[in-house]
Structure 1
Amino acid sequence: MNRKEAFFNQINEGYQTKGDYIVLGSGMLDGETIKDAFIKVPLKTLNRHGLIAGATGTGKTKTLQVMAENLSEKGIPSLLMDIKGDLSGLAQPSAGHPKIDERHAAIGLPFEAKKFPIEVLTISEQDGVRLRATVSEFGPVLLSRILGLSEAQSGIVSIIFKYCDDNKLPLLDLNDFRKVLQYATEEGKEEIQSEYGLISTASTGAILRKIVELDQQGGDLFFGERSFEVQDLVRKDDEGRGIISVLRLTDIQDKPQLFSTFMLQLLAEIYATFPEQGDSGKPELVIFIDEAHLIFKEASKALLSQIESIVKLIRSKGIGLFFVTQNPNDVPDDVLGQLGLKVQHALRAFTAKDRKAIKLAAENYPSSEFYDVDEVLTKMGIGEAFISVLNEKGIPTPLACTMLRAPMSRMDILTEKELNDLIKNSRLYYKYNETIDRESAYEILTDKIEKINKKEAVEERKKEIQKAAKPTSRTRSTRMNPILKVVTSATFIRGVLGILKRVI
């Protein structure tokens, strides 16, 4: 048996699967694509998470696009972080090209141009279905970790949440939280401290500064109503294809705190609300986090610990997480160790530091008798990558240099008209973009307050009259302070991750 035959047999045996799967491409040996040596990823193992890494321009985004397309055809929804703005093309079929035909002929797969059902989302000022969350849904634990607070400061945040719970004052946006924090050190200082303990003015000042920082990164747009329901990420179209949600983040690279805030809240809420699934035949949802280093950049130890915990636990909910970044070293070791599928595009060795990074990257992959991994890593072309997946028994497959298949959809952005039509034809757009500014949101919430507190209004007015009749009393009720916006009197129940579970 020659070297080529031995390689072909190893690939076909190592990547065999009895269950359903997606095909990423075909194995390569000595620079030649080996036809029909298909690299298969079992759907069953996609909730074991993954990594897509490689230098700029090596094809990471197209690999992400290929995976999202094939998952959609299998009825699996996905969420894509579109940092560079070139994933909207999923909504239109590929224009085709002779080089694409040549690539697929070498792989042994027919090429078919297709468009896919996508939903355009946003957490910033860009057009799209707006994603929001309330401060209450974060809870004191997650909010404290996002802000990087000390233990003493986190305790004060917990007191603020407890006070609002006890007094039926849900926190909707950062203005709500900021106002209650100021109230706790000014007008309501005696009231709150008599029941909940001493609150340091210095600590509240530090918390307020952290809130201002988050506000300046776009927190005022993200925090508020109407809250996005994570179940809307797992929809299918009329043909049974999984809907691909594309989150536009082209203006978010200079706002890493807002990006990590959104991601942690989203993952925490998914973990809290999705039912246990275990190792089922396929994942419920796959999330691709492009430019993943933005999540870990300048993250505190507490925040990293939170991320690591979620990555470890969320797989039981049928959720697969794929981190997309330039170098595997961008991902903390404890997270990297949880990733079962690894797609490593080429790395470039321009400096001694680069060469050292390549050696470290090579150590993340199984050894192979067919490759000198260090050397091949620097010589792979665009659309080629080292791949190792977990088979159905959870065992890593043989390392395979792979010629990846081309995307079936457009490898370019939508025109402005195409994008606007796509957004305006979305059902979710009218569901979540009905409240446009703070003034309209405030009036809606005020209307809710009047309905919820109708029975309490008479008694509250009596108390105000009684207090007004006592000129010596300096205590002022804040129960109906119009600045404190109340939405619901439902009990706040938080899970271990510190977020609010919605009560339907």
Structure 2
Amino acid sequence: MDPILVGKAITTETSGSVYLLPKYGNRHGLVAGATGTGKTVTLMTLAEGFSRLGVPVFLADVKGDVAGLAMPGTSNEKLQARIEQMGIADYRNEAAPVVFWDLWGKAGHPVRTTVSEMGPTLLSRILELNDTQSGVLDILFKLADDRGLLLLDLADLRALLNLIAEERKDISTSYGLVSTQSIGAIQRSLLRLEQEGAELFFGEPALELADLMRTTYDGRGVVNILAADQLILKPRLYSSFLLWLLSELFENLPEVGDLEKPKLVFVFDEAHLLFDDAPAALQQRIEQVVRLIRSKGVGVYFCSQFPDDVPANVLGQLGNRVQHALRAYTPRDQKAVKTAAETFVANPGLDVAKTIGQLGVGEALVSMLLDKGVPMPVEKTLIAPPRCRMGAITDAERQQVRAGSPVGGKYDTAINRESASELLAARVQQASQDAPAASEAEEGGFGQKMSEFLFGTKRRQGMVQSVAKRTTGNVGGSIGRSVGSAIGESVMGKTGKKYGGQIGNQIVRGILGGIFGRR
């Protein structure tokens, strides 16, 4: 299997081509360098190389120029001179097979996942919740599981929050303390997230990983490009989405060991956003995924300005390195240069720290894994040009590519099936319909009982008439006392006859007083 041409070594003592071996493509990598030094072109070169090997690629398009992979390049004198300098015999302008994705569905097919699949940990990070509020979110997910309620979109999440607010005391007893302040804070964070348009991200149909791992009929790997020029303005949503996707790959793909080539290459651009303000537990999770996902056949390539943007525990897992120029203008830059120099295998003929500051555009310090996984000594390298367009594409070209996509009919139309919000709303509606009927039944029963006590049964009617005949001076009082005692005995039983009679006397006294003209 042909290796991927990365570039040509131009170190004084060394010359020759520098390759990335396919069987070590799953050993991960790092592409670093200052803005404008050629990182994006390097990523495009690597993506094309993997695609030609039949390896699908997923990468984010932060500035909009990675989309050029979908269109063939154009020859010019500068490009031709680079090709001749590197001695590339089989170079030709060509496009890569591309599928565009977009969380908002504008610049590509919508990318969706469900709230349940995202999980409470990453959702807490997106919502920027503290530990206490995150605990309430954990309770929410547990409650949804226990009651069989599907959490698909943000409406479901809001409905569960309202349920917790209504049943807060009972839920606090069964699951743990829930405060109204925490519920309110989560609701406010949800509102901000909805205003940013994130409600389009949660829902169905959810993204299936198999659709990111497609190959064309001629065996080329599909390059999946996520439009991230607007998403990058919401760094927590951007980084959490990519981390979720990486976690889904880790949890769902089977163990395959070391293959002849990766099953998928995942490029994480602006990698520092993943680790900024990440709690220790989340960083441990990232380290675990990066360390173990290699055996799933997935290679992860981080791209950032400085190599120390990636924590040391993760940086140590990255076997393939491309370091573009760094300008040591500030103490932060000087530290980054020192870190970059220390992470390479030394080359006796190359002063790494000095060379990093002298690299031109399209040049880089490169160290790839050789046979047996041994890293090669670092080489100053002229990066190979990609065969696609090195620049943005037009809206019409994007729509043309999108129209020919094999997954458009599957994801472009949203599905809204019955879930927590619909079920809880239906229960509230049913309860509101049942309430008047129950009230009428209760009122009818009491009215019938009173009618029986006063006038409804022949026995009591006879009793009232008999008392009326025998009494001449205090008809209303005698009738009231007799009927009141009867009511008390009937309603409260014999043991309550005394007190029931007193209550009954007061009720009947008012009624019969009106009948006999007394006040």
State the TM-score, normalized to the length of structure 2: 0.78
Distance 1:306 1:207, change over 3 A: farther
C-alpha separation in 1, matches of 2:370 and 2:340:
22
Corresponding residue number in structure 2 for 1:178:
158
Shift of 1:204: 2.2
Match of 2:288 among 302, 309, 316: 309
Larger Rg: 1 or 2? Answer: 2
The 10-residue stretch of structure 1 (283-292 or 78-87) with the greater mean CA deviation from structure 2: 283-292
Q: Does 1:293 align with 2:272?
A: yes
Shift of 1:189: 3.0
Any residues of structure 2 matched to 1:360-439 within 5 Å, and which?
360-435=339-414
Match of 2:193 among 208, 214, 221: 214
Any residues of structure 2 matched to 1:25-424 within 5 Å, and which?
25-30=7-12, 34=15, 37-110=16-89, 111-124=91-104, 126-186=106-166, 188-190=167-169, 192-193=171-172, 195-424=174-403
Is the contact made by 2:159 and 2:420 (CA closer than 8 Å) also made in structure 1? no
Match of 2:417 among 442, 445, 452: 445
C-alpha separation in 1, matches of 2:268 and 2:214:
19
Distance 1:193 1:358, change over 3 A: closer
The 10-residue stretch of structure 1 (117-126 or 282-291) with the greater mean CA deviation from structure 2: 117-126
Is the contact made by 1:58 and 1:382 (CA closer than 8 Å) also made in structure 2? yes
Is the contact made by 2:126 and 2:237 (CA closer than 8 Å) also made in structure 1? no
Q: Does 1:22 align with 2:1?
A: no
C-alpha separation in 2, matches of 1:464 and 1:216:
34
Note the alpha carbon deviations across 1:41-76, whole angstroms, 9 max, x for none. 111111111100111111110110011111111000
Is the contact made by 2:151 and 2:419 (CA closer than 8 Å) also made in structure 1? no
C-alpha separation in 1, matches of 2:251 and 2:79:
43
Which structure is richer in relative contact order (CA contacts within 8 A, separation 6 or more)? 1
Is the contact made by 1:288 and 1:322 (CA closer than 8 Å) also made in structure 2? yes
Distance 1:373 1:462, change over 3 A: closer
C-alpha separation in 2, matches of 1:329 and 1:124:
32
Name whichever structure is richer in helix by fraction: 2
Match of 1:469 among 438, 463, 468: 438
**Residue identity in the other structure for 1:360:** T
What number of residue pairs does the alignment pair up?
439
Is the contact made by 1:86 and 1:412 (CA closer than 8 Å) also made in structure 2? yes
Shift of 1:152: 3.8
Structure 2's unaligned 5+ residue stretches are 443-519
Is the contact made by 2:160 and 2:421 (CA closer than 8 Å) also made in structure 1? no
Equivalent position SS for 1:427: coil
C-alpha separation in 1, matches of 2:327 and 2:421:
59
Sequence identity percentage: 43
C-alpha separation in 1, matches of 2:243 and 2:87:
41
C-alpha separation in 1, matches of 2:177 and 2:48:
55
Is the contact made by 1:87 and 1:413 (CA closer than 8 Å) also made in structure 2? yes
Note the alpha carbon deviations across 1:481-504, whole angstroms, 9 max, x for none. xxxxxxxxxxxxxxxxxxxxxxxx
Structure 1's unaligned 5+ residue stretches are 1-18, 436-440, 474-504
Shift of 1:464: 7.6
Shift of 1:280: 1.3
Note the alpha carbon deviations across 1:281-331, whole angstroms, 9 max, x for none. 111100112222222233333332332222122222111111111111222
Corresponding residue number in structure 1 for 2:480:
none
Corresponding residue number in structure 2 for 1:6:
none
Distance 1:357 1:198, change over 3 A: closer
Shift of 1:190: 4.7
Distance 1:148 1:446, change over 3 A: closer
Shift of 1:144: 3.3
